Amino acid sequence: MKDLTLIFILLALLAEILGTVGGFGSSVFFVPIANMYFDFQTVLGLTALFHVFSNLSKIAMFRKGLDKKVLIQLGVPAVIFVVIGAFLTSVLNIVYAEKILGIFLILFSLFFLIFPKVEIKPSLTSSIGGGALSGFLAGFLGTGGAVRGLTMAAFNLEKSAFVATSAAIDFFVDFSRTITYFFNGYVTIHMWPYIITFFFVSIIGTYVGKLLLKQISQDKFRKITLGLILFVGILTVIGYKVS
Protein backbone atom coordinates (compact mmCIF):
# COMPACT_ATOMS: atom_id res chain seq x y z
CA MET A 1 0.00 0.00 0.00
CA LYS A 2 1.51 3.32 -1.07
CA ASP A 3 1.59 6.34 1.20
CA LEU A 4 -0.92 9.11 0.64
CA THR A 5 0.30 11.95 -1.55
CA LEU A 6 -1.11 15.46 -1.82
CA ILE A 7 -1.62 15.05 -5.57
CA PHE A 8 -3.66 11.87 -5.07
CA ILE A 9 -5.82 13.55 -2.40
CA LEU A 10 -6.43 16.58 -4.63
CA LEU A 11 -7.35 14.32 -7.55
CA ALA A 12 -9.77 12.42 -5.30
CA LEU A 13 -11.31 15.75 -4.28
CA LEU A 14 -11.63 16.76 -7.93
CA ALA A 15 -13.28 13.41 -8.70
CA GLU A 16 -15.80 14.01 -5.92
CA ILE A 17 -16.62 17.53 -7.15
CA LEU A 18 -17.02 16.43 -10.77
CA GLY A 19 -19.01 13.37 -9.73
CA THR A 20 -21.44 15.57 -7.80
CA VAL A 21 -21.94 18.13 -10.55
CA GLY A 22 -21.83 15.74 -13.49
CA GLY A 23 -24.26 13.30 -11.93
CA PHE A 24 -22.21 10.20 -12.80
CA GLY A 25 -20.75 9.66 -9.33
CA SER A 26 -17.10 10.09 -8.38
CA SER A 27 -16.05 6.54 -9.27
CA VAL A 28 -16.09 7.21 -13.03
CA PHE A 29 -13.21 9.62 -12.37
CA PHE A 30 -11.70 8.09 -9.23
CA VAL A 31 -11.18 4.56 -10.58
CA PRO A 32 -8.92 5.58 -13.52
CA ILE A 33 -7.07 8.05 -11.24
CA ALA A 34 -6.49 5.46 -8.49
CA ASN A 35 -5.53 2.94 -11.17
CA MET A 36 -2.47 5.11 -11.88
CA TYR A 37 -1.27 4.50 -8.31
CA PHE A 38 -2.45 1.03 -7.28
CA ASP A 39 -3.16 -2.45 -8.58
CA PHE A 40 -6.72 -2.91 -9.81
CA GLN A 41 -7.93 -5.03 -6.88
CA THR A 42 -6.79 -2.37 -4.40
CA VAL A 43 -8.50 0.24 -6.57
CA LEU A 44 -11.78 -1.66 -6.28
CA GLY A 45 -11.52 -1.76 -2.48
CA LEU A 46 -10.58 1.91 -2.17
CA THR A 47 -13.33 3.01 -4.55
CA ALA A 48 -15.99 1.13 -2.59
CA LEU A 49 -14.84 2.72 0.68
CA PHE A 50 -14.60 6.19 -0.88
CA HIS A 51 -18.06 5.91 -2.36
CA VAL A 52 -19.67 4.93 0.94
CA PHE A 53 -18.64 8.30 2.43
CA SER A 54 -19.31 10.11 -0.85
CA ASN A 55 -22.87 8.86 -1.07
CA LEU A 56 -23.64 9.53 2.58
CA SER A 57 -22.50 13.13 2.04
CA LYS A 58 -24.74 13.52 -1.02
CA ILE A 59 -27.75 11.97 0.71
CA ALA A 60 -27.31 14.34 3.65
CA MET A 61 -26.95 17.47 1.49
CA PHE A 62 -29.57 16.62 -1.17
CA ARG A 63 -31.96 14.47 0.93
CA LYS A 64 -35.08 16.55 0.15
CA GLY A 65 -34.98 15.49 -3.49
CA LEU A 66 -34.97 11.70 -2.97
CA ASP A 67 -37.27 9.85 -5.42
CA LYS A 68 -38.36 6.57 -3.78
CA LYS A 69 -39.89 5.07 -6.94
CA VAL A 70 -36.69 5.45 -8.97
CA LEU A 71 -34.68 4.28 -5.96
CA ILE A 72 -36.54 0.94 -5.90
CA GLN A 73 -36.71 0.35 -9.67
CA LEU A 74 -33.01 0.97 -10.27
CA GLY A 75 -31.64 0.15 -6.83
CA VAL A 76 -32.86 -3.42 -6.36
CA PRO A 77 -31.39 -4.85 -9.59
CA ALA A 78 -28.22 -2.79 -9.07
CA VAL A 79 -27.60 -4.33 -5.62
CA ILE A 80 -28.20 -7.86 -6.94
CA PHE A 81 -25.86 -7.52 -9.90
CA VAL A 82 -23.11 -5.65 -8.05
CA VAL A 83 -22.53 -8.78 -5.95
CA ILE A 84 -22.27 -10.87 -9.11
CA GLY A 85 -19.81 -8.43 -10.68
CA ALA A 86 -17.74 -8.18 -7.50
CA PHE A 87 -17.55 -11.97 -7.20
CA LEU A 88 -16.33 -12.34 -10.79
CA THR A 89 -13.30 -10.09 -10.07
CA SER A 90 -11.80 -13.00 -8.11
CA VAL A 91 -12.44 -15.41 -10.99
CA LEU A 92 -11.65 -13.48 -14.18
CA ASN A 93 -8.36 -11.83 -15.19
CA ILE A 94 -8.18 -8.30 -13.73
CA VAL A 95 -5.80 -7.16 -16.49
CA TYR A 96 -8.57 -7.52 -19.03
CA ALA A 97 -10.98 -5.75 -16.66
CA GLU A 98 -8.77 -2.65 -16.69
CA LYS A 99 -8.79 -2.55 -20.49
CA ILE A 100 -12.55 -3.13 -20.59
CA LEU A 101 -13.00 -0.20 -18.21
CA GLY A 102 -10.91 2.09 -20.42
CA ILE A 103 -12.72 1.05 -23.60
CA PHE A 104 -16.10 1.48 -21.90
CA LEU A 105 -15.24 5.03 -20.80
CA ILE A 106 -13.95 5.98 -24.26
CA LEU A 107 -16.96 4.60 -26.15
CA PHE A 108 -19.42 6.03 -23.62
CA SER A 109 -17.96 9.55 -23.75
CA LEU A 110 -17.48 9.65 -27.52
CA PHE A 111 -21.01 8.45 -28.23
CA PHE A 112 -22.67 11.11 -26.10
CA LEU A 113 -20.31 13.84 -27.26
CA ILE A 114 -21.17 13.05 -30.88
CA PHE A 115 -24.88 12.44 -30.21
CA PRO A 116 -25.77 14.78 -27.32
CA LYS A 117 -29.53 14.58 -27.96
CA VAL A 118 -29.82 10.80 -27.62
CA GLU A 119 -32.38 9.91 -24.94
CA ILE A 120 -33.41 6.72 -23.12
CA LYS A 121 -37.17 6.18 -23.00
CA PRO A 122 -38.32 5.90 -19.37
CA SER A 123 -39.87 2.50 -18.63
CA LEU A 124 -39.72 -0.27 -16.05
CA THR A 125 -37.64 -2.36 -18.46
CA SER A 126 -35.05 0.37 -19.02
CA SER A 127 -34.92 1.03 -15.27
CA ILE A 128 -34.26 -2.61 -14.41
CA GLY A 129 -31.81 -3.00 -17.29
CA GLY A 130 -29.94 0.19 -16.44
CA GLY A 131 -29.83 -0.71 -12.75
CA ALA A 132 -28.58 -4.24 -13.43
CA LEU A 133 -25.89 -3.11 -15.88
CA SER A 134 -24.70 -0.25 -13.66
CA GLY A 135 -24.54 -2.58 -10.66
CA PHE A 136 -22.59 -5.23 -12.54
CA LEU A 137 -20.10 -2.68 -13.88
CA ALA A 138 -19.70 -1.18 -10.40
CA GLY A 139 -18.86 -4.58 -8.95
CA PHE A 140 -16.64 -5.82 -11.78
CA LEU A 141 -14.96 -2.64 -13.05
CA GLY A 142 -15.37 -0.35 -10.05
CA THR A 143 -17.64 2.17 -11.77
CA GLY A 144 -21.22 1.97 -13.00
CA GLY A 145 -22.44 5.48 -12.30
CA ALA A 146 -22.24 6.51 -15.94
CA VAL A 147 -24.81 3.90 -16.97
CA ARG A 148 -27.06 4.70 -14.03
CA GLY A 149 -26.76 8.43 -14.74
CA LEU A 150 -27.86 7.95 -18.32
CA THR A 151 -30.79 5.80 -17.26
CA MET A 152 -31.93 8.32 -14.67
CA ALA A 153 -31.60 11.18 -17.14
CA ALA A 154 -34.57 9.70 -18.99
CA PHE A 155 -36.80 10.59 -16.02
CA ASN A 156 -35.86 14.30 -16.25
CA LEU A 157 -35.32 14.52 -12.51
CA GLU A 158 -34.61 17.88 -10.91
CA LYS A 159 -30.92 18.28 -10.01
CA SER A 160 -31.25 17.66 -6.28
CA ALA A 161 -33.56 14.69 -6.91
CA PHE A 162 -31.09 13.27 -9.43
CA VAL A 163 -28.11 13.56 -7.08
CA ALA A 164 -29.92 12.31 -3.95
CA THR A 165 -31.56 9.32 -5.65
CA SER A 166 -28.39 8.32 -7.48
CA ALA A 167 -26.41 8.55 -4.25
CA ALA A 168 -28.95 6.47 -2.35
CA ILE A 169 -28.79 3.72 -4.99
CA ASP A 170 -25.02 3.95 -5.03
CA PHE A 171 -24.83 3.65 -1.24
CA PHE A 172 -26.55 0.26 -1.19
CA VAL A 173 -24.51 -0.85 -4.20
CA ASP A 174 -21.23 0.15 -2.56
CA PHE A 175 -22.15 -1.34 0.80
CA SER A 176 -22.90 -4.66 -0.91
CA ARG A 177 -19.71 -4.74 -2.96
CA THR A 178 -17.57 -3.62 -0.01
CA ILE A 179 -18.62 -6.77 1.84
CA THR A 180 -17.83 -8.91 -1.21
CA TYR A 181 -14.47 -7.17 -1.73
CA PHE A 182 -13.66 -7.75 1.95
CA PHE A 183 -14.07 -11.50 1.55
CA ASN A 184 -12.08 -11.32 -1.69
CA GLY A 185 -9.25 -9.64 0.24
CA TYR A 186 -9.49 -6.26 -1.50
CA VAL A 187 -10.43 -4.31 1.66
CA THR A 188 -7.82 -4.57 4.45
CA ILE A 189 -6.96 -2.92 7.76
CA HIS A 190 -4.03 -1.17 6.03
CA MET A 191 -6.51 1.11 4.26
CA TRP A 192 -7.48 3.01 7.44
CA PRO A 193 -5.49 6.19 6.52
CA TYR A 194 -7.50 6.40 3.31
CA ILE A 195 -10.78 5.93 5.17
CA ILE A 196 -10.09 8.99 7.34
CA THR A 197 -8.96 11.04 4.32
CA PHE A 198 -11.92 9.99 2.15
CA PHE A 199 -14.34 11.00 4.91
CA PHE A 200 -13.24 14.65 4.76
CA VAL A 201 -12.68 14.68 0.99
CA SER A 202 -16.23 13.43 0.35
CA ILE A 203 -17.81 16.12 2.53
CA ILE A 204 -15.75 18.98 1.07
CA GLY A 205 -16.12 17.74 -2.51
CA THR A 206 -19.87 17.26 -2.25
CA TYR A 207 -20.32 20.71 -0.72
CA VAL A 208 -18.27 22.39 -3.45
CA GLY A 209 -20.18 20.40 -6.07
CA LYS A 210 -23.49 21.55 -4.60
CA LEU A 211 -22.38 25.17 -4.86
CA LEU A 212 -21.28 24.69 -8.48
CA LEU A 213 -24.58 23.07 -9.40
CA LYS A 214 -26.28 26.36 -8.58
CA GLN A 215 -23.94 28.33 -10.86
CA ILE A 216 -23.16 26.12 -13.86
CA SER A 217 -25.50 24.96 -16.60
CA GLN A 218 -25.83 21.17 -16.49
CA ASP A 219 -25.71 20.95 -20.30
CA LYS A 220 -22.43 22.87 -20.53
CA PHE A 221 -20.80 21.01 -17.68
CA ARG A 222 -21.94 17.68 -19.17
CA LYS A 223 -19.65 18.31 -22.15
CA ILE A 224 -16.70 19.03 -19.86
CA THR A 225 -17.48 15.91 -17.85
CA LEU A 226 -17.65 13.69 -20.94
CA GLY A 227 -14.36 15.16 -22.16
CA LEU A 228 -12.69 14.25 -18.87
CA ILE A 229 -14.15 10.75 -19.00
CA LEU A 230 -12.67 10.35 -22.48
CA PHE A 231 -9.26 11.50 -21.22
CA VAL A 232 -9.08 9.13 -18.25
CA GLY A 233 -10.40 6.31 -20.41
CA ILE A 234 -7.48 6.75 -22.81
CA LEU A 235 -5.01 6.76 -19.89
CA THR A 236 -6.54 3.53 -18.60
CA VAL A 237 -6.33 1.76 -21.97
CA ILE A 238 -2.66 2.68 -22.47
CA GLY A 239 -1.96 1.52 -18.93
CA TYR A 240 -0.52 4.78 -17.58
CA LYS A 241 0.84 4.41 -14.05
CA VAL A 242 2.34 6.89 -11.58
CA SER A 243 5.77 5.58 -10.64
Nearest CA to 69 out of 111, 140, 131, 18 is that of 131
Cα 171 from Cα 48, distance rounded (Å): 9
- For residue range 8-31, what is the model confidence (pLDDT) as tens digits? 889 999 989 988 887 667 777 787
- For residue range 91-134, what is the model confidence (pLDDT) as tens digits? 776 667 667 777 877 887 888 789 877 666 667 787 888 888 88
